[in-house]
């Protein structure tokens, strides 16, 4: 059996293989409620043989959405809509996960319609929040720095959303602390200019992430895996660094995090050296130096490459994003290319094509 198709167990959850679906925003919700598009999108990925299907960044509060069309998990209607989707994902043999998120200063952004940029209040936008008043270039110019009470509300909201996720049937939770959204904004000196206990030193800048994880961990049973997505570097001098990521990953391990989903960038404009597997070295360092399982993501498109990442010990799982948009049945193709026999991954309705 290939490493890619070996099951992996985190706490009480066993995932059927190590091809995982990375969260991908669809910008297709109304008032944060997922709909038929999300059912078909996520359902097709589960049907296609992925092990863990992680639903898109879903805001823990309305103002935490990236765009007005983002999904959320702050009310009963959203919870019920997610439950329908989770049931279908489970019916295809896949494990269901969701990424809990707050967009911070990158909120109130145009989704699929009207190009890119900020959404004005008159068009349904809102004033975003962040660690400091500095905006993200090209987006809303008026982020409001969170006060201590606001920070506590964010922490509580992540815990509330975690409880709702479990009630909807999700098996795995991921805290989004990457790509320049709120938790990453607190981590990076390039976006965090605070002079209180949440700014300045490394210990202060990681405080919010640790508090959020502690809250989420305290709200869910011990058997539920909690993942964290981190941007391993800002790719800019003086920003959040790979060394700091390793330090934080070790702290997250102590807080009960089960795996680091390793990405990079997104907090400030940067020149990123894109090539297949360009983020794999960060996942390798986290796994080796922080002593916590890691996931590799980023321009991984070929089954043999994905298999090599696991066999060489660079990561424990591989997460795919755009490649699965191009080919939702990538896991089925990968299994065949890697010499996996049998048709257990194939839906019964499709097994005539497995031979």
**Which of these is catalytic: 181, 198, 278, 350?**
181
DSSP track, 86-154: HHHHHHTT-EEEEEEE--GGG-SB--SSSSSSBPPGGGT----EESSSPPPTTS-S-PEEP-HHHHHHH
200 φ, ψ (degrees, to nearest 5): 95, -95
On the 0-12 / 13-18 / 19+ scale of CB atoms within 10 A, 123 is exposed
- Distances from the Cα of 225 to the Cα of 95, 175, 247, 257, 351, angstroms: 12, 11, 21, 7, 32
- Distances from the Cα of 164 to the Cα of 32, 161, 219, angstroms: 14, 5, 10
Largest CA distance in the chain: 63
Would you call 181 a catalytic residue per the annotation?
yes
Residue 73 to residue 159: CA distance in whole angstroms:
11
251-285: string of b/e by CB count within 10 Å (b at 16+)? bbbebbbbbbbbbbbbbbeeebeeeebebbebbbb
Instruction: Indicate the length of the chain as a whole number.
Output: 355
Give, rounded to a whole angstrom, the gap between the first and last alpha carbons of the chain.
19
Residues serving a catalytic function are 181
């Amino acid at each position: 059996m290939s490493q890619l198709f070996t099951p992996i167990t985190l706490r009480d959850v066993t995932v059927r293989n190590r091809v995982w679906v990375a969260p991908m925003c669809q910008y297709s919700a109304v008032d944060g409620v997922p709909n038929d598009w999300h059912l078909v999108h996520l359902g097709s990925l589960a049907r296609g043989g992925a092990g863990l299907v992680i639903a898109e960044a879903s805001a823990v509060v309305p103002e935490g959405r990236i765009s007005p069309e983002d999904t959320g998990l702050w009310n009963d209607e959203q919870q019920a809509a997610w439950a329908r989707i989770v049931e279908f994902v489970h019916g295809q043999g896949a494990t269901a996960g969701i990424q809990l998120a707050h967009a911070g200063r990158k909120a109130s952004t145009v989704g699929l319609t009207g190009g890119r940029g900020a959404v004005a209040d008159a068009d349904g936008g809102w004033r975003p929040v962040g660690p400091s008043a500095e905006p993200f270039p090209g987006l809303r110019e008026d982020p409001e720095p969170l006060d201590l009470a606001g920070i506590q509300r964010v922490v509580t909201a992540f815990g509330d959303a975690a409880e709702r996720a479990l009630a909807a049937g999700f098996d795995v939770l991921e805290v989004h602390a990457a790509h320049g959204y709120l938790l990453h904004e607190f981590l990076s000196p390039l976006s965090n200019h605070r002079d209180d206990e949440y700014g300045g030193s490394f210990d202060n800048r990681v405080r919010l992430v640790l508090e959020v994880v502690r809250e989420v961990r305290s709200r869910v049973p011990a058997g539920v895996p909690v993942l964290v997505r981190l941007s391993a570097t800002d790719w800019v001098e003086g920003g959040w660094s790979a060394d700091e990521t390793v330090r934080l990953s070790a702290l997250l391990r102590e807080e009960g995090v089960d795996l680091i989903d390793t990405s990079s960038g997104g907090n400030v404009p940067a020149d990123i050296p894109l090539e297949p597997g360009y983020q794999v070295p960060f996942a390798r360092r986290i796994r080796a130096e922080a002593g916590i399982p890691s996931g590799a993501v980023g321009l991984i498109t070929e089954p043999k490459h994905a298999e090599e990442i696991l066999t060489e010990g660079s990561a424990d799982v591989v997460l795919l994003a755009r490649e699965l948009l191009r080919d939702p049945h990538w896991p089925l193709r990968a299994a065949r290319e890697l010499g996996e026999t049998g048709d257990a991954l194939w839906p019964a309705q499709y097994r005539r094509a497995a031979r």
